[in-house]
A and B are shown apart, each in its own frame.
Chain A
Amino acid sequence: MKKENFTLSVYTENNIGLLNRISAIFLKRHINLDSMTASQSEIKNVFRFTIAVKVTEEQVKKIVLQIEKQIEVIKAFYHKEEEIIYQETALFKVDSKLLFEERQIQNVIKNSNANIVTVTPEFFVIEKTGRRREVEALYHKLEPYGLMQFVRSGRIAITKEKMDISTLLENFTEETV
């Protein structure tokens, strides 16, 4: 079976140690993650991990079951690329004098649908949100001018179809511990 990009949505309780527990499942199988992000989900006190990983579908099925088996994991899903809307965000820190010395940099920013989030006399920061290749395209355009700093977030994703978690979560009551 061929390796593909999969995105996992993992709904969990907000407990210390859960990140470790989930990443240990990949570690045990010698699988490297492309990215992992954690945030609040649509339900209060329920967390959502978004994990991007390149494996076979057979592997991802087993991984999802192992993740779901963890006590404080409410539900886990895996999605193929076409089933989700996904984005990444990148920040580029660039020397401010380039804005005046290298005028074409302004066109690069304009044409790439990026935002300038801050400008100081020393540096300015560009924010770009989009697919990985869009972020990378901007990186390659800016890189020749010299980047002071570059950082890219992990993938976040939302499914096109409804996930059967929603009704389950609606029935959740407050619980301690």
Chain B
Amino acid sequence: METQTQTIKKEAKVATERMTGAEAVIRCLLAEGVDLIYGYPGGAIMPVYDELYKYQDKLSHILTRHEQGATHAAQGYARASGKVGVAIATSGPGATNFVTGIADAQIDSTPMVCITGQVGSHLLGSDAFQETDIIGISTPITKWNHQVTKAEDIPAVLAKAFYIAKSGRPGPVLVDITKDAQFGELDFEYAICKGVRSYKPVPETDPKSLEEASKLINEAKKPMIVFGQGVILGEAEKELISFIEKSGIPSAWTILGLSAVPTAHPLNVGMVGMHGNYGPNKLTNECDLLLAIGMRFDDRVTGNLETYAKQAKIVHFEIDPAEIDKNVKADVAVMGNVKNTLSQLLPLIAPKTHDLWLQEFRDYDTIEYDKVIKEELHPSKEALSMGEVLRGINEETKGDAIIVSDVGQHQMIACRYAEFTKSKSNVTSGGLGTMGFALPAAIGAKMGAPEREVVAIIGDGGYQMTIQELGTIFQTRVPVKIVVLNNDFLGMVRQWQQLFFDKRYASTEMVNPDFVTIAKGYHIEAKRVTKREDLQGAIAEMIASKEPYFLEVCVEKENNVFPMIPTGASVSDIRLS
């Protein structure tokens, strides 16, 4: 019956092309402008892989060594390029290995389309080999997901998937395609999705909210900006910088907002949050106006909400209505894409400077420099510090590199000390805190921005969570630079154990393998540095290399990252030691 109907359809529409669902998947990707995907084959996705073989001149497939690696690579690709990352895997364990990457992309708003194979539709619910309910599993961690059981549904579903992933507040979507839908035939026709009737990606901006915001801005004596990734996702960097410069407002960033404004900008006052800078955290509780631009008041940013910026009026520039008043109550909510709202706001504000107020930030900087930064960047001790490695990288890259960091102490050090001149340069797992993110994400970042230097900064713990992706680097020769800051500890957990658990170092000391030998086993040039006098030369050699390069730096074992806002404490209770 079905074949009959399809034959009739084919006769009616001569413009369409007859093909299998599997081929349609590839053709949809090509129609969306995708030329690179990450994945791992397996039984239930084999028809699609068979088509990938045929289309390999148009669509590159990067074989990662684990499906989790494919998702993080797709994330890195998306974050560095601004395009949608695509990952593909088989059913069952292939699909479940996607879960961490999907959850990471969801909480960090990364546009990603994940395609999974599924057992034949007649087997659904029978506990067939490699059957798992990936729709059920991925529901709470996807922006949207959908199971396709008929070949003819593939084009419309994938079109919708791409539209949803990249529009509004971006996020991951998952499309699960049964094996019979891949084998089945359809008349292929592709139309880019332009809207979904139940979904409004960008809310309308109320002109009144802009007026109220501008009034507060023009009257404020001690205004402060905290910007987040919304600026980068909305490609609003220029608009933000114009706004900052005209208003003269000191501007701090969240970890995911980093690089939207050059780190050397005179009004850039550093990072807010748990390991952020002293000034912006302290002064959050002294400003009279807090402008939150494309950020979501994560608990790692706010510390104790009961004592967060209570004295200030709060204006929240946001694309997602569910973020308004979620954690911090806004006095004015400016809805919309920040690119539009900031450019509409610009003519409404008076040009100003806030020199005395800015000086307060700089005074705190001096305190922080003397108590923390100086020793971190120019240690007086014999042991190497993580900070001086970052300083060395800054010297070689001049702030032009994409820095991909993993999760832990090294991540905080990288975000605190890396210098940036360009946007989309800081790729890190912010919301989920996924150890193992950086190595595969760096692969994706380099492929997403091949003209740029990509340096992964990873701890010895996180590195071993996805170390198998060295195989992907070996096979593709993607020239990523990998720096492992090795302190033979799960350093951040150890720091907490030291500060809050009376130095009971439960399961945080690592007995590590010879990382250099492992890298060399993958034919990656590798070096280990243990002494200060060898550091800069090794970094220079790494950056100069046109090939993938691995650099292990053995650093101080029991160093702590400061400043620090202890959990549950107020931002103004930030500690310098």
Interface membership of B446, Cβ < 8 A: no
* A68 and B322 within 8 A (CB): yes
A interface footprint on B479-505 (CB within 8 Å = 1, 0 otherwise) = 000000000000000000000000000
Expressed in whole angstroms, the Cα–Cα distance for A66 and B323 within the complex equals 9
Q: CB < 8 Å: which of B143, B157, B322, B326 contacts A177?
A: B157
Please, which residues of chain A bring their CB within 8 A of the CB of B365? none
Expressed in whole angstroms, the Cα–Cα distance for A13 and B198 within the complex equals 8
Interface membership of B135, Cβ < 8 A: yes
* B196 and A71 within 8 A (CB): yes
Interface membership of B164, Cβ < 8 A: yes
Please, which residues of chain B bring their CB within 8 A of the CB of A68? 321-322
Expressed in whole angstroms, the Cα–Cα distance for A159 and B324 within the complex equals 26
Expressed in whole angstroms, the Cα–Cα distance for A65 and B199 within the complex equals 13
Expressed in whole angstroms, the Cα–Cα distance for A15 and B147 within the complex equals 11
Please, which residues of chain B bring their CB within 8 A of the CB of A12? 198
* A28 and B147 within 8 A (CB): no
A17-B139, A24-B140, A68-B321 in contact; A62/B326 too (CB < 8 A)?
yes
Please, which residues of chain B bring their CB within 8 A of the CB of A13? 198
Residue ID in chain A nearest B153 by CB atoms: A177
Interface membership of A176, Cβ < 8 A: yes
* A73 and B136 within 8 A (CB): no
A62-B326, A65-B322, A177-B157 in contact; A20/B139 too (CB < 8 A)?
yes
* B322 and A69 within 8 A (CB): yes
* A74 and B153 within 8 A (CB): no
Please, which residues of chain A bring their CB within 8 A of the CB of B144? 71-72
Interchain nearest-CB distance for A78 vs B (Å): 14
Interface membership of B313, Cβ < 8 A: no
Expressed in whole angstroms, the Cα–Cα distance for A68 and B324 within the complex equals 13
B interface footprint on A1-43 (CB within 8 Å = 1, 0 otherwise) = 0000000000011001100110010011000000000000000
* A177 and B140 within 8 A (CB): no
Interchain nearest-CB distance for A176 vs B (Å): 6
Residue ID in chain B nearest A63 by CB atoms: B322
A71-B196, A173-B197, A177-B157 in contact; A20/B136 too (CB < 8 A)?
yes
Question: In the complex, which residues 44-97 of chain A have their Cβ closer than 8 Å to any Cβ of chain B?
Answer: 61-62, 65-66, 68-69, 71-74
Expressed in whole angstroms, the Cα–Cα distance for A175 and B325 within the complex equals 33
Residue ID in chain B nearest A174 by CB atoms: B197
Please, which residues of chain B bring their CB within 8 A of the CB of A173? 197
Q: How large is the interface on A (under 10, 10 to 19, 20 to 34, 35 or more residues)?
A: 20 to 34
Interface residues on chain B, number (Cβ under 8 Å): 24
Please, which residues of chain B bring their CB within 8 A of the CB of A21? 139-140
Expressed in whole angstroms, the Cα–Cα distance for A52 and B320 within the complex equals 25
Interchain nearest-CB distance for A85 vs B (Å): 26
* A177 and B139 within 8 A (CB): no
Question: In the complex, which residues 345-384 of chain B have their Cβ closer than 8 Å to any Cβ of chain A?
Answer: none
* A71 and B157 within 8 A (CB): no
Interface membership of A172, Cβ < 8 A: yes
Interchain nearest-CB distance for B208 vs A (Å): 19
Interchain nearest-CB distance for A20 vs B (Å): 5
Question: In the complex, which residues 105-150 of chain B have their Cβ closer than 8 Å to any Cβ of chain A?
Answer: 135-136, 139-140, 143-147
Please, which residues of chain B bring their CB within 8 A of the CB of A177? 146, 153, 156-157, 160
Please, which residues of chain A bring their CB within 8 A of the CB of B160? 177
Q: CB < 8 Å: which of B157, B198, B322 contacts A74?
A: B198
A17-B145, A177-B153 in contact; A71/B198 too (CB < 8 A)?
yes
Residue ID in chain B nearest A67 by CB atoms: B322
Interchain nearest-CB distance for B343 vs A (Å): 26
Interchain nearest-CB distance for A172 vs B (Å): 6
Q: CB < 8 Å: which of B135, B197, B321 contacts A172?
A: B197
Expressed in whole angstroms, the Cα–Cα distance for A61 and B144 within the complex equals 22
Expressed in whole angstroms, the Cα–Cα distance for A61 and B164 within the complex equals 24
Expressed in whole angstroms, the Cα–Cα distance for A68 and B200 within the complex equals 10
Interchain nearest-CB distance for A115 vs B (Å): 38
* B136 and A69 within 8 A (CB): no
Expressed in whole angstroms, the Cα–Cα distance for A20 and B142 within the complex equals 12
Expressed in whole angstroms, the Cα–Cα distance for A175 and B159 within the complex equals 14
Q: CB < 8 Å: which of A27, A28, A71, A172 contacts B199?
A: A71
Please, which residues of chain B bring their CB within 8 A of the CB of A27? 140
Interchain nearest-CB distance for A141 vs B (Å): 42
Interchain nearest-CB distance for B186 vs A (Å): 14
Question: In the complex, which residues 195-216 of chain B have their Cβ closer than 8 Å to any Cβ of chain A?
Answer: 196-199
Expressed in whole angstroms, the Cα–Cα distance for A68 and B197 within the complex equals 13
Interchain nearest-CB distance for A71 vs B (Å): 5
Interchain nearest-CB distance for A166 vs B (Å): 15
Q: CB < 8 Å: which of B135, B199, B324 contacts A17?
A: B135
Residue ID in chain A nearest B173 by CB atoms: A71
Expressed in whole angstroms, the Cα–Cα distance for A12 and B198 within the complex equals 8
Interchain nearest-CB distance for A136 vs B (Å): 34
A interface footprint on B225-249 (CB within 8 Å = 1, 0 otherwise) = 0000000000000000000000000
Expressed in whole angstroms, the Cα–Cα distance for A62 and B296 within the complex equals 14
Given contact pairs A20-B139, A72-B144, A72-B198, enumerate 11 new A-B contacts (beta carbons under 8 Å).
A16-B147, A17-B136, A17-B139, A17-B146, A20-B136, A62-B326, A66-B322, A69-B321, A71-B198, A74-B197, A177-B156
Pairs across A and B, CB under 8 Å, 11 listed: A16-B147, A17-B145, A17-B146, A20-B136, A21-B140, A24-B139, A71-B144, A72-B196, A74-B197, A175-B196, A177-B156
